Structure 1
C-alpha cells in the first residue's frame, strides 16, 4: 500500500470511528472464567503465569512506590538500567525527554507500548537514537504496567530486543475523582514537585452499552540551583579533595569557590578589570558559578487521555482513544567563559564537511587594556549574555477501532490511527563565530611571524591577537553592551523536530482444533505503518556558525508492512508449547523473520517450569539509514602521531621556564604554552561528521530464558528465571580513537588533517626538531555501520505472599535482578572486553523488598531498595580508576569503589473518611546518603559538583489526597 492510500485509509477509519468509545465485552454466561491477553502474546488465556516471564505492577503497587511519573515507576524495576532523563538531559541532542532501558541495552532496544500499541517516538533523536518519551505518557490513568522481561520482536516487531513495557490504562471507570500530590525534601525545600489530576468516567458498559473515560493531569517541578544546597554535600568529598569544609559558604577548594573567569574580567599579572565588585585574597575578580549551576531543571507537563467504548450490537464493539501531552523543560546554566589559555574549540561545519577551530588569544602588548608590555592573559565571563535552554514538546495519538467475535469462536480486533509530535529546543548564550569576529576581533590574525614579538616572546606569538583592539570593538569588555550586540554575538540556536506516523492493524485469534479437550489456539495479524521524521537545525547551526556546537538533521519517510502468527499447542494437560513468528518488511532491507519458541510445563499444581527462545531485531531508524547528517565533536582525543612529540616539546618548554626568574614574564608564557601544546595534541577536540548508511542491516538478537514458578505455601509464589541476550550487527559509528588507532588502514577522507603549514602547535623549527610529519587533526568522516556486539545474562528472582495476621493482611513482595555478565565488543581488541558486572555503573545485584500491612482503613508499608557495590573502573581500557590508578590519586582500595547502598522507604494511606484517600510516602526514611563516589566527583574537573543530587536531597516526603465525588 502506498503512502497516500495508507493515509487515506487511516483517516477514513479514524473519522468513522472517532465518535465511538469502548472496551471488550465478555459473555459471562458463555465464559465463566474470563480469558485475557497478557503482554507477550496475542492469544487470550485463563492463566496469567505464562511461558514468558512478565512482571506486573498493579495500580495499588504503583501507589505504594511513592512515584509521581511514568519514568519514576519504570526506574523502580530491578531490570531497568535507566537512561536519558529530562533532569540530566541538557547535554543531550534530545533534551527535555526521558527514556526507558532494560538490561543495559539502551533506549532503542526497549519497546514502550500504551494499551498494547506503539506511541510515536520523541520528535528529536538523541544523536542517532530514537525513543519513546516517558514524560508524555499518562500516569494517573494507569491501571497496570506489564513488563515483558525478554525479547518480544516475534509479537511486536522492531525494537523489542531487551523487553517490552506495556502501560495499560483504566477502563469501564465510573465517577469523578480529583487528587493531587506534593513532594518536598525535608532537608532542602528547594526540591519540590506538585501534581494534580482529574479523572471522570461516564456510562456503565454492562448496563448502558458505553463508557467514556477522561483524564487530565498536571505536573510541575521547581528548579534547584547548586549554590542553595552546596553546603549539604557529603563532607567526605571535602576531606578527600581538600579545601574549605562545608558550612563556610565555600566548598572544597576549587569546586565550590567562585571562579576567576568572571565579569568584568581579570588580566592575569596585571589585576582585575575596572568595576569588579568581588575580589578574592589574591585580588582577582570572582564570579559565583554555583549560583547558576543547576541540580534539577524546571519542568511543567500536561497529559490528557480520553478513551471510550461503545456496544454496536451483534457482538461488535467500537473503541477510540485520544492521547495528548505537552511538556516543557527549561535548563539554566552559568554564562560562558573566555580564557587566553583555554584549548582551542573544535566543531564541524556542515557546509564544508570539515572541522572548524576557534582559538582563544592573549591580548596584544599594544592593547589599551594591557600595561605589561607582554602578551596578557585574559579571563572573562560573558555575564551579560542571555542564558537558558527551553524545550517544548507536543505529542498526540488518535486511534479508533472495533473488535468482536466470529461465530462465537474467533476474536477479531482492528484499528487505525495517526500519532506524532513536535519538539522545539532553543539554546541561548553560545558564541557566534561570525559575531565574535565582527564584534570582538578576528582571532585568526595573530602575531605569529611578527619580528618584534618573536624576538621577545618566541613560540608564543601565534597565541596572541594581532588586533590591539581585541575586545574593544562592538562588544566592550566589562561594559554595558546593547541588546542588538548581544543578539549578534549570542544568537539563539537549536532544533525543530516533527514526527508523524499512520497505521492500520488487525488480528484474529481463536481455536483451530483440539488435543483431547484442550483447544489449540491460533492468532494471525498484520500491520501497515507509514512514518515521516524531520529534524531541522536553526540556520546558524546548519552553517556551522555556533562555536563548539554540532548539528543533527534528518528528513526522511518510509512505509513498512508486517504479518505475524502465533500458535498455542497444549500437548498434554500439563505441557504447553508456543510458537510465534513475525515477518517485517522495511524499505531497503531484506524481509526479516523473528521467530519464537516457548514451553510451559506444570509439573505439579505447585511447580511450573518454563522456557523461551526468540530471535529479535531492531531496524535502522530514519536517522541512521535514510538521509541524515550529524556533526559533533569528540573531546579528549590523543593524537597517536603528534601527542608524544607535543609532550616532549612541553617538557622542554617547562625546563626553559623553570630556569627563568619568577618575575620574568616569559616564564608564565612558556608554562602556559606547555599546557596548551599538550592539550592541543593529547586531549584535543576533533570534529566528527557521521552520515546515514543506506546499506545498513538490522541489529539482530538471540535471547533465551529458562525458569520456574512455584508455590511453597498457599497464597505465596516464588519465581526464578535465567535470561541471556546476545546482540550483533549493532549500529554504531566507529569512534575517533578506533579510527586513529588504524589510521594507515583508513581510506582517504576518513581522517582529515591540516597541512603542516597551518600547524598552530609546532613552529617549523620545532617540527624538524621533534620529527613532526603529520599535520594537526581537523575531523573524522564516517557513516553508521554494523560494527558492534553485546552479550549479557543474569537471574531474575520474584516472590509474593499474602499472610493473614491478627492485625490484618500482610503483603510481602520481592524482586531482584542479578547480573551475571555484560560484555561489549571492542573493535580495537577484535573481541569482547571485560565483564562489566560489578564494574562502575553496573551493580551485580539490584533488589526491592516490600511489606504492606492492611489494618482496617489504614495501610502501612515498608520498601527496601538495594544496590550492590561496584568498582570504580569500567572496561579494559579504563586504567584511571583501577586499583593502581586509584593509588596514584592517593585513594585507598576502600575508596576505589562505590559501596553497596540500601534505602528504606515508608508509605501509609488512610481511607476512613468517606470517598477520601489520604496518603504519605517517605522516601529515604533513615535519611541515608548515597555512598561516596569519588569518580563521579573527580570527573567534573575544576568546577562541577556531583550530579547525584540525591546526596543533598535527603529524605523526601510526598503527601497525596484523592477524593471520589461519586
Structure 2
C-alpha cells in the first residue's frame, strides 16, 4: 500500500504561515434562508467572507437565459476545456452529456457534488479517456445555487478535488406552484429548443415540506449542411481509391493508363458519388466529405423529475431528495459507411478488377453524400439519485449523517459494416441469396446496394456506474481563547462505487489464448472489453478554526483516506487577516490527490482518431524536404486507436496554493486571487498524434504491412500512464459595483480567469502550453484568458441585462497548410447577450415574461484548422450563432 501526500518543508511552512478556509454564507432571493456553501464543516466559521468561491444563485441562472445546466457551466470563467457543447463527431462516447473542467486541469480533476455529497461518474467517456460527472443530469428548475470552489479541497472532500469543487444545491423549500415554458431558436436556420418546467412546494403538516419539479426538453437538430463552413475540412482521403501491387498498364476503359507499383489510383467516377480528387505523394485519391452527414446540434429528448422532503421532528431534521433524468439523443446521423480500415486486397482475378493485378482497397463501400443516405447512431443516458440526510443537536454539538445513492446507464449504438460479409461479397457470395458480388471499382453498381443491408452491423455497448456514499459529521465549539472561541468538526465517509461495461457479442474485445487481441468485425469502429469492477474507500477527517487575534483566524484540516490500492493523508491550513472592516488578506496551502478511476484501471476500448501520418523511408525514418521539414503523407487519416487501461497507475498528487485580497465596501466588492497547482503523476492517455511523431515506426504504431514502415498506417496503441508534472498558475479577478439609478438598482459585475503558465513535459522538455490548441499532447486547447462583464438594471417589475463573454485568442499547434488561407492564430471570441424581463401580477399569481438574444451580433466561432475534424473548437466556442429566446412563467 502506498501512502501519498506532501510533507515538504516548503508546503508545511506555507501552510503554517498562510491559508484561508473556503466557506461562504449566502442568502437566498428573499434574503432569509442562510445557505452554507462549499468548503468547510466548521460551525460559524469567521472566514466566510474571504474564500475563492464563486456563486451562481437563481437570479444569475435566470440572467443567463440557459436552457439547461450545461449552458450555465459553459459560462464559468475558471472552467476551461470542458465539453458542454460537444460536437457530434469527436465526442463519440460522450454525446448527450456535459461536464466541468476547473483550471483546465482535466475533467476528472474537478469534484462535482450535489447538496455537498458525491455523484456517480457518467458511463460516458471523453475522447481522451477522461471520466466525469454528467452535470446535464441535474434539472435546472430544481437548482437553488451553484458554488464553485476554486482551490484544492482534498482535506475536506477527498479524492478528485484537485482543481476545486463545484457544488449544486437543490431547492428544499418553495411555496406555491411555478409553471415555466421557453422557446429558443437560431436566427440563421431552424434549430429550436422547447422547454416546459413545473415547480411546486407545499406543507403537508407536522413541520414537513415537499418540493416537486419536472422538466421536459425537446432540442431540434442543426445539420452541418446548413452550416457547411463549420465542416469544410471534414474530408477523408479514403473515399474510393486503390493501390496497385505492381507495375501495370490498363489498355482501355475508365481506368485506362499506366501505373507503377504502390501508386494510388482514384475511382474515375469520383465526383458522381460526391468525392473529390486529391494529389498524393504517389498518385491521387478520391477523397470524401463526410462532415456533411453529421449534426452540429443533435435532436435530443430529455425528461427530468425532482422531489425533496424536509421534515422537522424531535429536534432533528430529515431531508430526502431524489432526481431522475432520461436523456436520449435521437437524430445523430453518420455516413452510410465508414472507410474500410482492414484495407482488403482485391485479387487480380476479380471479374470487375480492371488492373488484372492485386490491388489494395483504400476507401469506403458506400461514399454517398445525400442526407437520406445517413444512418442513425442513437444514445441513451439515464441517471438516478436518491439521498437522505438526518441532522440535529446534542449537548450543543451539531451532528449530521447522510447516505446518497446515484447510478447512471449510458448506451451507445453506432452503425458499421461487417468486413467478413463484405469479403464474402467481394468473392461473389454476398446477400441473402449468397450469389451477389460486390464491385469496389464502381460504388454505384446496383448489386452493391443490395449488399448494404445484408452486411450491416453496429457497435453497441452499455456502461453502468453507481456510487453509494455515507457521511457523518459532528461540529461545535472546541475551547475559549483570548481572541474568541475555537471551533471544530470531525467526520467520516464510506464510499462504494461500481463500474460495468456490457458490450454485445459483436462489440466485445476478445483476447485469445496467446494474449493477442482479436479484431472486431467492423470496417472502421473498434470494440470495448467487458468490465465488472467495484471498490470501497474509507475516510476520516478533522477540521478546526482558531481565532489568533482580533481579525486574525487560522483554519486547519486533515483527512486520511484508505483506498483499495493506496492511502492518502492530506493536510490543509489557512490564515485570514482582516485589516479593516472592508479589507482582508488570505492565503492557503494544501495537498490533494485523485485516485485512478475504475475505467482507467480496467477499461480497454478501440475508437478512431484523426492522425497525420508522415512519409518514411525503408528504415522507418522521416523523409524530409529541402528545408529539413518532415513530409506529411497525404491528408489526415482516421485510424483505430486502442486505449488500454493499466493496473500500474498510481494516484495523482498535487500541492495547491492560493493567495487573495478581498475588498468589500458599501457598493464595491472585489476579489483578486493568485493560485498555483504543482500537479504530479497526472494520469492521462498517451496522445496518438504525439506518439506517432516521436516514434513513427515504434512497436505501438500499426501499419498494413508490419515489416514495411512505408505501408499504410492502420492504428496506434495508446496506454494510460502517470505523466510527470503539471505546474500551473494564474490569477482570478471578480468585482461588482452597485448603485441606485432612477427607481431601480444598477449592478456592474465582472469575472476574469487568466492562466499565467501551464507547464508540462513535452519530449523531455518542460513547455508552457497555455495559449495553445494542444492537439499533440494531453492538455486540452487552452486560451489564456476567459471572462465576462455584465450590467443589470432592475426594479420590482423590470430587469434589463447585458453580458459580454470573452475567450482570448490562442495559437494552433497543428501545421496549417497554405491552401487553407488560415494562419496558426485562432481569433478571440466575444459574443454579447442581452435580456429583458418583466414581472406583473395576474389574478392571485405573479407572471414573468422574458425576451433575450444570445450572441446579438451573430459572431461566428473562430475558424480553426483541426485537420479532418470540424472547423471550430467546441471546447470554447458556440457554433450556433445568434439565438433568440422567449420565456414565460406563472407562479401562484
Match in the other structure for 1:471: 438
Is contact 2:96–2:328 with CA below 8 Å preserved after alignment? yes
Is contact 1:555–1:628 with CA below 8 Å preserved after alignment? no
Q: Does 1:940 align with 2:881?
A: no
User: Displacement of 1:695 after TM fit?
Assistant: 3.4
Match in the other structure for 1:504: 470
Is contact 2:865–2:871 with CA below 8 Å preserved after alignment? no
Match in the other structure for 2:114: 114
Q: Which range moved further: 98-107 or 86-95?
A: 86-95
Match in the other structure for 2:766: 832
Match in the other structure for 1:215: 213
Is contact 2:619–2:709 with CA below 8 Å preserved after alignment? no
User: Displacement of 1:959 after TM fit?
Assistant: 0.7
**Counterpart pick for 1:532 among 498, 504, 509:** 498
Match in the other structure for 2:603: 628
Is contact 2:273–2:367 with CA below 8 Å preserved after alignment? no
Is contact 2:615–2:710 with CA below 8 Å preserved after alignment? no
Determine helix, strand or coil for the equivalent of 1:850: strand
Determine helix, strand or coil for the equivalent of 1:381: coil
Q: Call closer, same or farther: CA 1:75–1:374 in 2, change over 3 Å.
A: closer
Q: Tell me how far apart the structure 2 counterparts of residues 860 and 175 of structure 1 sit (CA, whole Å).
A: 26
Q: Call closer, same or farther: CA 1:686–1:646 in 2, change over 3 Å.
A: farther
Is contact 2:408–2:465 with CA below 8 Å preserved after alignment? yes
Determine helix, strand or coil for the equivalent of 2:99: coil
Deviations 1:901-958 (A, max 9, x none): 3222111100024310001121122333344x2524xx237xx554669787332111
Q: Tell me how far apart the structure 2 counterparts of residues 515 and 532 of structure 1 sit (CA, whole Å).
A: 46
Match in the other structure for 1:814: 750
Q: Does 1:401 align with 2:401?
A: no
Q: Which range moved further: 371-380 or 608-617?
A: 371-380
Q: Tell me how far apart the structure 2 counterparts of residues 361 and 691 of structure 1 sit (CA, whole Å).
A: 29
Q: Tell me how far apart the structure 1 counterparts of residues 724 and 66 of structure 2 sit (CA, whole Å).
A: 36
Match in the other structure for 1:326: 326
Q: How many residues get paired? A: 800
User: Displacement of 1:471 after TM fit?
Assistant: 1.5
Deviations 1:320-346 (A, max 9, x none): 11111111113534524588xxxx72x
Determine helix, strand or coil for the equivalent of 2:100: coil
Match in the other structure for 1:710: 663
Q: Tell me how far apart the structure 1 counterparts of residues 696 and 66 of structure 2 sit (CA, whole Å).
A: 53
Q: Tell me how far apart the structure 2 counterparts of residues 843 and 689 of structure 1 sit (CA, whole Å).
A: 29
**Counterpart pick for 1:698 among 631, 641, 651:** 651
Is contact 1:637–1:737 with CA below 8 Å preserved after alignment? yes
**Counterpart pick for 2:881 among 941, 954, 959:** 954
Is contact 1:37–1:44 with CA below 8 Å preserved after alignment? no
Q: Does 1:187 align with 2:162?
A: no
Q: Call closer, same or farther: CA 1:274–1:213 in 2, change over 3 Å.
A: closer
Is contact 1:844–1:868 with CA below 8 Å preserved after alignment? yes
Q: Call closer, same or farther: CA 1:736–1:257 in 2, change over 3 Å.
A: closer
Structure showing greater relative contact order (alpha-carbon pairs closer than 8 Å, 6 or more residues apart): 2
User: Displacement of 1:684 after TM fit?
Assistant: 7.2
Q: Structure 2: which 5+ residue stretches go unaligned?
A: 1-30, 242-252, 258-266, 279-284, 430-434, 511-519, 775-780
User: Displacement of 1:799 after TM fit?
Assistant: 0.7
Match in the other structure for 2:408: 421
Q: Does 1:853 align with 2:793?
A: yes
When normalised by structure 1's length, the TM-score is 0.74
Larger radius of gyration: 1
Deviations 1:170-212 (A, max 9, x none): 2221111110111111222x221111101110118xx851110
Is contact 1:432–1:490 with CA below 8 Å preserved after alignment? yes
Q: Does 1:381 align with 2:366?
A: yes
User: Displacement of 1:720 after TM fit?
Assistant: 0.4
User: Displacement of 1:508 after TM fit?
Assistant: 0.9
Match in the other structure for 2:93: 93
Is contact 2:120–2:465 with CA below 8 Å preserved after alignment? yes
**Superposition pairs of residues 133-532 of structure 1, within 5 angstroms:** 133-188=134-189, 190-203=190-203, 208-230=206-228, 233=229, 292-313=293-314, 315-330=315-330, 332-336=332-336, 345=341, 358-360=342-344, 364=348, 367-368=351-352, 370=354, 381=366, 383=368, 387-407=375-395, 409-428=396-415, 430-441=416-427, 471-472=438-439, 478-479=445-446, 485-516=451-482, 518-532=484-498
Match in the other structure for 1:602: 578
Q: Tell me how far apart the structure 2 counterparts of residues 614 and 646 of structure 1 sit (CA, whole Å).
A: 47
**Counterpart pick for 1:823 among 737, 759, 775:** 759
Q: Tell me how far apart the structure 1 counterparts of residues 425 and 624 of structure 2 sit (CA, whole Å).
A: 35
Q: Call closer, same or farther: CA 1:67–1:635 in 2, change over 3 Å.
A: closer
Q: Tell me how far apart the structure 1 counterparts of residues 696 and 573 of structure 2 sit (CA, whole Å).
A: 47
Cα RMSD after superposing both structures: 4.2
User: Displacement of 1:806 after TM fit?
Assistant: 2.1
Is contact 2:159–2:592 with CA below 8 Å preserved after alignment? yes
Q: Tell me how far apart the structure 2 counterparts of residues 359 and 745 of structure 1 sit (CA, whole Å).
A: 19
Q: Structure 1: which 5+ residue stretches go unaligned?
A: 1-31, 235-250, 346-357, 444-467, 652-676, 763-775
Deviations 1:492-520 (A, max 9, x none): 21211111222222111111112236221
Q: Call closer, same or farther: CA 1:50–1:693 in 2, change over 3 Å.
A: farther
**Counterpart pick for 1:897 among 825, 841, 844:** 825
Q: Call closer, same or farther: CA 1:40–1:420 in 2, change over 3 Å.
A: same
Q: Tell me how far apart the structure 1 counterparts of residues 136 and 543 of structure 2 sit (CA, whole Å).
A: 33
**Counterpart pick for 1:925 among 853, 856, 873:** 856
Deviations 1:697-745 (A, max 9, x none): 200111111011113x422211100011121111234455776788799
Determine helix, strand or coil for the equivalent of 1:605: coil
Determine helix, strand or coil for the equivalent of 1:963: strand
Q: Call closer, same or farther: CA 1:522–1:511 in 2, change over 3 Å.
A: same
Deviations 1:774-812 (A, max 9, x none): xx9887767533233212111111111220122421111
Determine helix, strand or coil for the equivalent of 2:860: coil
Q: Tell me how far apart the structure 1 counterparts of residues 167 and 389 of structure 2 sit (CA, whole Å).
A: 19
Deviations 1:199-254 (A, max 9, x none): 110118xx851110111111111111122343xx49xxxxxxxxxxxxxxxx98x8
Q: Call closer, same or farther: CA 1:619–1:184 in 2, change over 3 Å.
A: same
Determine helix, strand or coil for the equivalent of 1:303: strand
Q: Call closer, same or farther: CA 1:44–1:220 in 2, change over 3 Å.
A: farther
Bigger helix share = 1
**Counterpart pick for 2:552 among 572, 575, 582:** 575
Q: Tell me how far apart the structure 2 counterparts of residues 52 and 517 of structure 1 sit (CA, whole Å).
A: 21
Q: Tell me how far apart the structure 2 counterparts of residues 221 and 509 of structure 1 sit (CA, whole Å).
A: 46
Bigger strand share = 2
Q: Tell me how far apart the structure 2 counterparts of residues 130 and 338 of structure 1 sit (CA, whole Å).
A: 27
Is contact 2:377–2:414 with CA below 8 Å preserved after alignment? yes
Q: Call closer, same or farther: CA 1:90–1:494 in 2, change over 3 Å.
A: farther
User: Displacement of 1:545 after TM fit?
Assistant: 1.4
Match in the other structure for 1:53: 52
Q: Call closer, same or farther: CA 1:471–1:477 in 2, change over 3 Å.
A: farther
Match in the other structure for 1:69: 68
Match in the other structure for 1:671: none
Determine helix, strand or coil for the equivalent of 2:141: coil
User: Displacement of 1:559 after TM fit?
Assistant: 1.1
Q: Does 1:786 align with 2:722?
A: yes
Is contact 1:577–1:600 with CA below 8 Å preserved after alignment? yes
User: Displacement of 1:487 after TM fit?
Assistant: 4.8
**Counterpart pick for 1:616 among 576, 581, 592:** 592
Is contact 1:635–1:685 with CA below 8 Å preserved after alignment? yes
Q: Which range moved further: 93-102 or 38-47?
A: 38-47
